[in-house]
């Protein structure tokens, strides 16, 4: 593999509400059956409205109840990176991989949650929340790389870099990632949500109940060094070295 593309919510995070749902709920909107939140989603999926119109109508609802940049970023503090994320990004980058995030989340939220790990990524792609000088929302610029657009991102990456599609892997977890396979790249589903991993046309590999991102490395054909497999750990902080199940099995073989 030469390029790894990650979804964000539920893929690089520990779960919980994504920023869209968190903002709707914080502002006091219902998100249940028949709610505006669900109606807009259904209208988008049925092609009644396009992605930008979905963003515009959502932004109108947010602005009506006074969403601000501070509120959005404070809500994002409830989102945590999955364990082993930094070590995984570092390992992939050291191995020469190009790393990207392609998500339907907000870019500002993605960058805040990634923190210093942003340095490992060649691009961060998502929706852009727009604010005035006082920090009040004035709109949302929709990404062109969500749902069907995720496949478009891969195709553009291939055209730009010359990387063969077989050397690109997309790592995701949900139904808005299901179009990526159409680009011809490899796909890996982790902690699936609202998607069928038994469909191996869409998902070439899958890992359920993943709690440490380092466990994807064998699926990406990235082998750990001996030093990474064997360590004395840090007893003073009660830390131990993580060995993924696939590598543990390898180490126990005769």
DSSP 27-67: TT---STT-HHHHHHHHHHTTSS-HHHHHHHHHHHHHHTT-
pLDDT of 227 reads 55
Average pLDDT over every residue of 52-81: 97
Q: What is the mean pLDDT of the chain?
A: 90
User: Per-residue pLDDT for 247 more than 90?
Assistant: no
Instruction: Quote the radius of gyration of the chain (alpha carbons, Å).
Output: 19
| Three-class secondary structure of residue 94 per DSSP | helix
Are 68 and 136 in contact by the 8 Å Cβ rule? The answer is yes
Contact 195, 173 (CB under 8 A): yes
DSSP 3-state of 97: coil
Q: Which residues contact 98 (CB under 8 A, 6 or more apart)?
A: 2, 3, 4, 122, 161, 163
**How far apart, in whole angstroms, are the C-alpha atoms of residue 106 and residue 74?**
13
| Rounded distance between C-alpha atoms, residue 99 and residue 86, angstroms | 13
Q: What is the pLDDT of residue 223?
A: 75
pLDDT at 228: 58
Domain residue extents for the chain: 1-222, 223-254
Whether domain 1-222 has CATH 3.40.50.1000: the reply is yes
Average pLDDT on 147-153 reads: 96
Global pTM value: 0.88
Distance CA 41, CA 24 (A): 13
The burial class, CB within 10 Å (0-12 / 13-18 / 19+), for 59 is buried
Decide if pLDDT at 2 tops 50: yes
Instruction: Report residue 36 as tokens.
Output: 């505006």
pLDDT tens figures, 189-232: 999 998 999 999 999 999 999 999 999 999 999 876 655 555 43
- Tens digits of per-residue pLDDT, 76-112? 999 999 999 999 999 999 999 999 999 999 999 999 9
What's the pLDDT at 235? 39
The sign of the dihedral angle between the CA atoms of 162, 166, 169, 173 is: positive
Sole residue written with tokens 């109940």: 209
pLDDT at position 180: 97
pLDDT at 242: 55
CA neighbours within 13 Å on the CB side: how many for 225?
A: 9
Q: What are phi and psi of 73, to 5 degrees?
A: -75, -30
Residue 79 is predicted with a pLDDT of 95
């Amino acid at each position: 593999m030469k390029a790894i593309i990650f979804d964000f919510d539920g893929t690089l995070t520990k779960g919980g509400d994504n920023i869209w749902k968190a903002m709707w709920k914080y502002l006091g909107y219902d998100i249940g059956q028949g709610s505006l939140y669900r109606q807009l989603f259904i209208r988008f999926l049925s092609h009644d409205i396009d992605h930008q119109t979905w963003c515009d109508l959502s932004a109108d609802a947010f602005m009506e109840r006074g969403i601000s940049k501070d509120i959005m970023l404070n809500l994002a503090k409830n989102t945590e990176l999955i364990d082993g994320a930094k070590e995984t990004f570092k390992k992939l980058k050291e191995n020469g991989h190009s790393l990207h995030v392609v998500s339907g989340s907000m870019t500002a939220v993605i960058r805040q949650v990634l923190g210093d790990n942003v340095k490992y990524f060649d691009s961060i792609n998502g929706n852009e929340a727009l604010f005035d000088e006082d920090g009040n929302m004035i709109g949302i610029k929709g990404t062109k790389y969500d749902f069907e657009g995720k496949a478009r991102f891969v195709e553009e990456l291939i055209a730009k870099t010359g990387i063969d599609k077989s050397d690109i892997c997309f790592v995701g977890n949900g139904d808005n990632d299901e179009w990526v396979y159409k680009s011809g790249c490899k796909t890996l589903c982790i902690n699936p949500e609202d998607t069928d991993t038994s469909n191996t046309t869409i998902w070439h590999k899958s890992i359920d109940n993943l709690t440490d991102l380092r466990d994807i490395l064998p699926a990406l054909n990235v082998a750990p060094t001996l030093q990474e497999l064997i360590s004395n750990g840090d007893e003073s902080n009660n830390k131990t070295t993580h060995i993924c199940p696939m590598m543990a099995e390898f180490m126990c073989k005769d």
